[in-house]
Structure 1
C-alpha cells in the first residue's frame, strides 16, 4: 500500500521541502497572471514541465502546466491541493512514475502512489475527465524497461478500476528492436524532443476529442 508518510494528511515531511519553492512559484504566477478558467491541467514530472509548446500544441483548449521536474508521484500526492484546487480544471492529464522507478520504487509502489493521487485529485475535481500518460521508455534508463512495463500494466488496471483513462505512449515510442526509439528523445536520452512532444500531442488531442473537450 501507499506509504502514509507520503500523504498530505500528515505533517510536512522533510522529503517534500525541496519542492516548496516550485509550488510557491505556481501561486505567485497565478497572482500575477491568473490561470485560464475551465482549462485542462497537466501535472507531473519534468516531461510535463519541459512541455514548453503545450499551449501552442493544443490551441483549441486552454491549458495549465504544473509539472515540476524530478518529482515523483508521491510529490504530486503531497501537493495535490495546491496543484488542483485553485484551478477547478475541466480535465487532468498526468505524466509521472519514471522517477519513482529510478529512485528504487517497485512497480507496485508506483501503482499505489498513482491510486493515492487519484483519490486526492478527486477531492477537487470530482467529475473532471482524468488521463494518465503511461511511463515512457527512454534511452538513459534502458535497464528499467521490465519495471516500466510492469508498472504500466499495474497502473492500467488501476486506472480502469478508478475511471481514469490510460493513454499508452510507451508502445508508440518503441523502435523495431523493442527498445526506446532515439528519434523521440533529446540529447540526454531521457527527455523528449519536438518530435516526441508532437507524438504526445496527437495522443492527448485524440483523447480530448473522444471526451468532447475540443
Structure 2
C-alpha cells in the first residue's frame, strides 16, 4: 500500500488521493477503516436540527452587534473553526455564522435566523461535507440547497449566494465520489441564476499530480490546519473580491 495511490474520477477530471511521508500508508489505512465504520453508523443517525438551538440563540443575541448589508458565512465546522475568517477576508465585511457538525438540513431549518437579521448583500454557504458522510443522497442535498436559496431570495431577492464545493479530506476518502457528485449538482444549480456563484474549494487542495495534500489537516485528517486555512481563505476570497470588493469600495467612499 505504501507506493499506491487511490484514483477517483471527478467532475474536473482524474483526482487521486496519495500521501508522501513515511507515516502516510499506516495513517491512510487507519483513516480508511475508521471512515468505513463511521459511515456505517452515521447513516442510521436521525437528523434533529433543534440540537443547534442554543448555538442559534447565541447568534440571535449577537445579531444587533453585527453590521447590515455585509456578507454572511454559514455552514459547518470548516467555517466554525476558522477563527481568522474576518481578518483573512478583509477588507470584506463578514458576519461569521458557522456551526460545526451541521448539515444542509440544519441550515435549511434555521436559514431565516441565520440570514434575515443581517439583510446581507451576499451569503456564502459550506455544507455537504457532513451530509455525504452521513450517507445522504447528493440529489437530496442539492434539493435542500435549492430550498435554502428559495427562502433567501423570497426575503432578499437581490442577495447573492455563493455555494462552496465539498473539499477533499484524508478522513473521508470512502465517500469522496458522493462528495464530487454533490459538488457537481451545486455547480449546475449555480449556473442557472446570475445571483448564484459556485466556488471550487476542492482543486486548491490537490497537487499538480492530482493527489490530495497531506499537510493541510490537523490530526483527524478532516479539519484544516493553519496552512489549510490559508489555502481555503485564498480560494474563497479570490472569488468574493471579484464581485463583492467593489461594494466595499463604494461603502468606504460613502456611495
| TM-score normalised by the chain length of structure 1 | 0.87
* 2:140 aligns with one of 102, 109, 127: 109
Q: Secondary structure at the match of 2:120?
A: coil
Residues 40-119 of structure 1 aligned to structure 2 (within 5 Å): 40-119=71-150
Shift in Å, 1:208: 2.2
Q: Secondary structure at the match of 1:121?
A: helix
Relative CO higher for 1 or 2, CA cutoff 8 Å, sep ≥ 6?
2
Specify the structure having the higher radius of gyration (Cα): 2
1:178-209 Cα offsets, whole Å, 9 max, x none, are 44312221221111112222112222222222
**Contact 1:40–1:62, Cα closer than 8 Å, also in 2:** yes
* 2:198 aligns with one of 161, 166, 182: 166
RMSD: 1.8
1:74-129 Cα offsets, whole Å, 9 max, x none, are 11111111001100012111111111111110111111111111111212332122
* 2:218 aligns with one of 174, 179, 186: 186
Q: Does the C-alpha gap of structure 1 residues 87 and 185 become closer, same or farther in structure 2, counting only changes over 3 Å?
A: same
Q: Secondary structure at the match of 2:215?
A: helix
Where in structure 2 are there 5+ consecutive unaligned residues? 1-45, 249-255
Where in structure 1 are there 5+ consecutive unaligned residues? 1-12
**Contact 1:43–1:66, Cα closer than 8 Å, also in 2:** yes
Q: Secondary structure at the match of 1:17?
A: helix
Residue matched to 1:202:
234
* 2:67 aligns with one of 11, 36, 39: 36
Shift in Å, 1:15: 1.4
